[in-house]
Amino acid sequence: MPHLLRLAIPTTRKLYQWAASLSILKVSHIHICTQGSPFSPFPVDLIVFHHRLTIFSLLVTLIWFITGNILVYTSINTCRYASPRLWWLNFAILCILYLMVLEIVVLGFVVLIVAPILFVSFFFSS
pLDDT computed for residue 38 by the predictor = 58
Span between the terminal Cα atoms of the chain, in Å:
53
Q: Quick one: pLDDT band at residue 99, thresholds 50, 70, 90?
A: very high
pLDDT computed for residue 124 by the predictor = 86
Residue 20 located in a structural domain: yes
Looking at the 3D structure of the chain, how many domains does it have? 1
> Rounded mean pLDDT of the chain?
77
Residue 26 located in a structural domain: yes
Residue 14 located in a structural domain: yes
* pLDDT per position as a tens digit, 57-86: 999 999 999 999 999 999 989 988 999 999
